[in-house]
Copies of this chain bind each other. A is one copy, B any other.
Amino acid sequence: MNFTHPFLDGDGDDKLHEECGVFGIIGAPDAAAACALGLHALQHRGQEAVGITSFDGTEFFTRRGLGHVADNFSSAESIAELPGQMAGGHVRYSTTGGSGMRNVQPLYADLASGGFAVAHNGNISNAMQLKQELVSKGAIFQSTSDTEVIIHLVATSRYPTMLDKLTDALRLVEGAYALVVMTPRGMAACRDPMGIRPLVMGKLGDAVVFASETVALDVVGAEFTRQVEPGEFIEVDFDGTIRSHRPFGNTPARPCIFEHVYFSRPDSIFNKRSVYESRKNIGMELAREMPCDADLVVPVPDSGVPAAIGYAQESGIPFELGIIRSHYVGRTFIQPSDGARHAGVKRKHNANRKIVEGKRIVLIDDSIVRGTTSLKIVQMMRDAGAKEVHFRVASPPTGHGCYYGVDTPERSKLLAGRMDLEAMREFIQADSLAFVSIDGLYRAVGLEGRDKACPQYCDACFTGEYPTPLTDLAGRKDKDAQLSLPVNKVA
C-alpha cells in the first residue's frame, strides 16, 4: 500500500492532510462501478479506508474496507455486491487505527422513515456537545465519528419530510461539511453555509453525479455542471428531478484556500478556477515578491512542480528536475547502521547529483508544516554538491491548526507556530527562505488581495481567523476521546 499523497506530496509526514473525499451518483445503471472509479480519482483525499453504499430500489448495500479503492473495489465480485442505480462513497484519511471499520463511511441507519446513508467531508466542531445531549435521551452511538451525530439528529427530528429533518439537523451543527446523502427517495448533496469543503456536480448521460473534485467527474466521463454552492442543498430524485434549496439563506462564502495550495489535484477546477493555474500563479507571484539569483529552479516533487514552473517562467531561470522522486514508497525499512544517512528521505527523493553539482538552486515547495522534510531536502542538495540552496514556499507560513476536516499537527509542532522567519531559515539550513505573502496568494487566485473585513476564503491555517465558533475545541487533538463517553475499543 502506498500512503503518499498522490499528486503533490513531498513527504507523507510533513504535509497537511485533507481527511476525506466523497462521491455520489444517481440514475446510472452501474452506479457502484462509477462510484468506485470516482473515488479512485479522489484517492489523494483519503488513503486509509473506503466505503460504498448502493440502493437498488428496495434495499441498501454497503461494503467497506481498509486501504485503497483499488484494493477493495476493483473486482467484479465487489461491485456485484452493490446493485442499484444509486451509489455513494467515501475515502478517508484515518486518524486512528483503534476505531476501525465502524468509522468507515458511508454511515448507514434504518430510520423510521426508511434507510439513510451519509458520506461526509469536513468536521463538526460542536459534535461532542451534541452527542452528549443525544445520549442522555437514549441514543446509542455505534461509531466515534462526528458524522453519526447528523444521523441521530435526523432520526429524532420531528419534521415530516427528509429535507426538513436534514435541515433541522444541520441547523444545530457547527463547522464544515460537504455531504452526500442517500434515502429511498433519492440523493441529496449539501455544503455548509460557508462552503468550506468543496463539492461539485456533474452529468453522466442521464445520471447526476456529485464529487469533492472535478477530476472525479473527468475520470468517470461525466461533464462538469457547476459547484454545489455554499449553503446549498440539492435533492435529486430517481426520475431525474433536481431541486435546489437554500435553507440557511445567503451568507458570505469562505472556501478553503488550501485546496488551491495543495489539497486538490492540479487538474481539478476549484471555486471556478484551475488549480494548476493557481499554483503556477503562486509561483509567479513568489518570483516577483521573492526573487533569487540562482542557476536552477528545482521543484520538491511532486507538489512543488506547478509553482516551480511558474517561478521559472517568471524569473527566466531554467526549470530542472534536481530531485527525483521514487514512486515506491510505502513503509519504513529497517535502516542499515552504516552510511545510510537520510536513507528515509532518499527512498522517496534522491538528488539528481549531476544536475545540482556546483549550482546555485532555488527549491520550490508548496508549504512547510513541521520543517523536518525541508531540512533533509536542503541537506540532500548540499550533499549532492549544490553551491547555494534557496528555499521558496508557495504559501504563507502555516502557523495555525485546522478544525474543518484537515489533519494538522498541534500548533507547537508547526514550524511557523514556534519560530520567526530567520529561525525557520536556520532550522532548515537554507541560504535563504521566503514565503509568498497572503495578499500574493489571494492575487494568485484571481483577487485583488485579501479582504481583511470579510476574507473571500478560509485561510485560518495562515491567519488564525476561524470563520466559525469552535465549541469542542479544547479536546480537539484527540477527537475520538473527546466525542465519546467511556468508549468501547473494538478490534
In chain A, residues 471-489, which have Cβ atoms closer than 8 Å to a Cβ of chain B?
484-489
Q: Tell me the smallest distance from the CB of A216 to a CB of chain B, in Å.
A: 10
Known contacts A114-B485, A489-B62: does B336 contact A30 (CB below 8 Å)? yes
Query: In whole angstroms, how far apart are the Cα atoms of A220 and B347 in the complex?
Result: 9
Find out whether the CB atom of A37 lies under 8 angstroms from the CB atom of B347. Answer: yes
Number of copies: 4
Q: Which of B151, B265, B342, B487 is the one whose CB lies under 8 Å from A60?
A: B487
Find out whether the CB atom of A332 lies under 8 angstroms from the CB atom of B74. Answer: yes
Chain B residues within 8 Å of A331, by CB:
70, 74
In chain A, residues 63-99, which have Cβ atoms closer than 8 Å to a Cβ of chain B?
63-64, 68-71, 73-76, 79, 81
Q: A276 near B: Cβ within 8 Å?
A: yes
Q: A178 near B: Cβ within 8 Å?
A: no
Q: A447 near B: Cβ within 8 Å?
A: no
Find out whether the CB atom of B350 lies under 8 angstroms from the CB atom of A321. Answer: no
Chain B residues within 8 Å of A379, by CB:
none
Q: Mark A115-143, 1 if CB is under 8 A from B, else 0.
A: 10100000000000000000111111110
Q: A204 near B: Cβ within 8 Å?
A: yes
Q: Which residue of B lies closest to A133 (CB)?
A: B112
Q: A335 near B: Cβ within 8 Å?
A: yes
Q: A372 near B: Cβ within 8 Å?
A: no
Find out whether the CB atom of A355 lies under 8 angstroms from the CB atom of B274. Answer: yes
Q: A421 near B: Cβ within 8 Å?
A: no
Find out whether the CB atom of B115 lies under 8 angstroms from the CB atom of A486. Answer: yes
Find out whether the CB atom of A324 lies under 8 angstroms from the CB atom of B267. Answer: yes
Q: A244 near B: Cβ within 8 Å?
A: no
Q: Mark A324-357, 1 if CB is under 8 A from B, else 0.
A: 1011111111111111111100110011111100
Find out whether the CB atom of B328 lies under 8 angstroms from the CB atom of A70. Answer: yes
Q: A291 near B: Cβ within 8 Å?
A: no
Q: A241 near B: Cβ within 8 Å?
A: no
Chain B residues within 8 Å of A326, by CB:
6-7, 40-41, 43
Find out whether the CB atom of A267 lies under 8 angstroms from the CB atom of B488. Answer: no
Q: A412 near B: Cβ within 8 Å?
A: no
Q: A269 near B: Cβ within 8 Å?
A: yes
Q: Tell me the smallest distance from the CB of A188 to a CB of chain B, in Å.
A: 17
Known contacts A205-B339, A267-B352, A350-B218: does B488 contact A328 (CB below 8 Å)? no
Known contacts A70-B331, A328-B2: does B81 contact A491 (CB below 8 Å)? yes
Q: A277 near B: Cβ within 8 Å?
A: yes
A-B contacts, 12 listed (Cβ < 8 Å): A28-B338, A29-B337, A36-B333, A37-B340, A81-B489, A110-B487, A115-B488, A207-B338, A219-B346, A220-B339, A221-B346, A319-B319
Identify the 8 closest CB pairs spanning chains A and B, nearest first.
A221-B339, A274-B354, A6-B327, A138-B156, A34-B336, A267-B324, A221-B340, A74-B331
